[in-house]
Structure 1
Amino acid sequence: MLEQAIDLQIKRSAIPTLQAEADAHDKIVRANAFRRMASGAAIALAAIGIGVGVWLVFDRDPTVIQPEPPVAQNQPSNPNENLPKETKKSEDRISGEETIAEEGKTDKPKSPSIEQPTPPPADPANPDTFDFVKFANRKVPYAGSTWQLESGHHFESEKNPTWDTAWCYTRRLANTGVEVQVSLVNRPSPTSTPQAPVSSSETLASVGLDDNSARELASRCLWLDEANFAPGDFDMGPERKEAAAAAEAFSLQDGWDAIGNDLPGMPAWNVSLEQCQAQCEADRRCLALTYDKKHAACFMKNNGSILVRSPDAVMAAKGSIKANLQYSSLVFAKDTVVVGGAYANVRSNYADCVVACAADQRCLGFNFDGPNKMCAMLDTVTSSSPFKGVASGVKATRS
């Protein structure tokens, strides 16, 4: 019982202490709550202040003239009057009233900016097209075949009424088996002289054309401005003109005969060599000729390949086919048959028989049977004997 009484007395004596601790804890909690409220209020006030400052900066009227800071009244009217005076030499002064302009400064008032008119909005349904090209095509017969001519016209814009440059070309299968584009005409402007031909001579030759035939074909191109040009209306560069002149020039070979390739209706009888050459120059089909001096006969030809010895003949060829000429060593005889081994017998005329033997390295001689139009080519020759109606030829061998 005594112990319980002591314990009860101890607990009663501790009550004031516990109450004091509870009061202190309550004050601490209230102080913390008040501090949090004060911090929140300070943050809110700071945010409001920042917002007001931003509004004042960005929403200020630029037309309002800001007051200038007051000028201190105690400054002297002349800032240099209190400085010590120095004596300057006269040679250091710049006489007159010249001034040196400072870079970036000007006394001229700024001109007010001119308001540019706003362009009308583009129509999305009908936009402009630039670098616009229109073509005009035409099929024409020429030299026994049909040629597709394509003429292109370049416009800066599809709304321009007139083209600025134009051209005409054709596509053709070349002798190499590859299709090539052959440029025929260039028109730098609607009013300038057209230029033709454009492609190189090698390209033209690969499709069976030369400068003359290319200009003839170019004269048939179709143009949007309905322009028409003759072959002589086209312009060529100076180098091409020189080459064309050289291609048209004749070179004469006395004592040689160009075999084959005669134009229809040949020969022309009772003409001189000069007349024969003039007739060939006047006929665009004529590229070579053989003149028979003994009979005053002119043989105009559309090509030249094999040349054979003939003391009574004069041969002339244009420069355009000069590279095609081959000089043969065949020696001819009339009413004579050559004995040897024949490796080919074909029906032919005399000129084709000569050309075939001259072009074939295997052929050493030939016999042409005139009445039967038969050509025999020989790869061995042993002898010859008279035989009426047979014309023969033997290639001369080098000793």
Structure 2
Amino acid sequence: MLEKAIEQVLLRASIPTLQAQAEALEKTNKAVAIRRIATGAAIALVAIGIGLGIKFALDRNPNLTGQVPQIQAQAIPDPVPQPPAPAPRPPDIPVTKSDPAPTQPDIITTNFTKFANRQVELLGRTWTVSVGHHFDNEADTSWNQAWCYTLTKVNGVEVKVELADRKSPNAKPVAPTANLATMQHAGLDINDALALASRCPWSDGNFSVADLQVPASAKGPMPTPPVLQPSLPSLPPPQPQQEFIAADDFDIPGGDYRVEKEVSLELCTSLCRSEAQCRAYTHNKTARWCFLKDRVGEAQRFVGAFSGLKKTAPTAGSSNAQWR
């Protein structure tokens, strides 16, 4: 009996401890349940995020197949193509009509001077013949001076050949106005220059070669008519008089009134012969320059130069030992 009484007393004493252990166990179970619920919710959120990411990737790139379950796509009919709407014109930009093409595109006006061009076929080449008509002011109805020229390239250098000149609208063209050396340098003779001058696009029409006024300087020296001599069988026939006293490798310093470049010795001699002002010339054989002289000085030795002195009436007692 005493033992049962002691056992009852001990049992009653352990009841609070057992209750505390039960409460602790219950709290532990609740905590485990709550953690499991939170873990499941987190897993569900991750699954939803993965699903949304896969759907977004498939929408961006429909070629990604085989990695996620395929979704049955619905057929959507193609839209009927519509013509593009015209772009509206800004209201602040006025609509202007384009200017008609000019009837003479080769006419250019600069500083009251009208230039007109024409293409001419000559010597197997195409020459651009240009005419300039100069007006005093923009209100003038008639020009007061006109000229015609052509440009050509020789060894890469542009050469201007003056073809004709008119002092007034009532005057006929004077042609050619370029010197002989310039024309020959451009590959033209007088007849070629006259042919080009007859094609100048003047504003009042064309002039034929017969209408052109050829200056005396372009015609060259006039031939001296032969002097009839009585028949004298005993006398030898007259010998032609030499025009120039020539000296090779000699220079005549000073007296230059014009210099022609890129000319031959024959052309240099012809230029001096055709001009009354020229008394002598010196031709530099290396540079091909021609120095025309209106005064004659003492000749000096110069290798590479060729000089010519116009022969005048012989002077008694004169010594020209350096000339041959």
- Note whether the superposition's TM-score is higher than 0.5: no
Does 1 or 2 have the higher relative contact order (CA < 8 Å, sep 6+)?
2
- Greater share of residues in strand: 1
Using structure 1 for the length normalisation, give the TM-score.
0.28
